[in-house]
Amino acid sequence: MDYLPELADNGQNWMNYGHSVLCAINDKGLMGFLVGSERRPTHPAELEGRGKGWTPQTDEERHEVTVWRTADQSWTRRNATVNYTIICGIPDTILTFMLHLKS
């Protein structure tokens, strides 16, 4: 979906806006970010059996960190795309209010 409607200041087109956002995110193959199945990759230091202050000692462990870094950067970019898709059509009047809410 190339076009996303802007959410009306009074929210009257919420259903249309919400449906359009969900379709756009789904079209990009990013629905897992909303349903919780696309989780941020776990840093190798946080894996079971590795304590605080763990650093890679072997080539295999260094490779593991490199692979994680690439996966984490990809996850971060795709997560930003989802966030942008959600907020790009929200008018400033609503967005400013939302930024002060506690999640």
**93: in domain:** yes
**63: in domain:** yes
Count of structural domains, the chain: 1
pLDDT at 15: 95
Instruction: Report in angstroms the alpha-carbon separations of 39 from 30, 43, 53.
Output: 11, 12, 23
Model-wide pTM > 0.85: no
Is the separation of the CB atoms in 15 and 31 below 8 Å?
Answer: no
Condensed to tens digits (0 to 9), the pLDDT of residues 79-95 reads 999 999 999 999 998 88
Instruction: Report in angstroms the alpha-carbon separations of 35 from 6, 31, 83.
Output: 23, 6, 14
Is the separation of the CB atoms in 7 and 92 below 8 Å?
Answer: no
**69: in domain:** yes
Q: 76 is in which domain, residue-wise? A: 14-47+56-99
pLDDT at 1 over 60: no
- Rounded Cα gap, residues 16 and 21, in angstroms: 9
Condensed to tens digits (0 to 9), the pLDDT of residues 66-75 reads 999 999 999 9
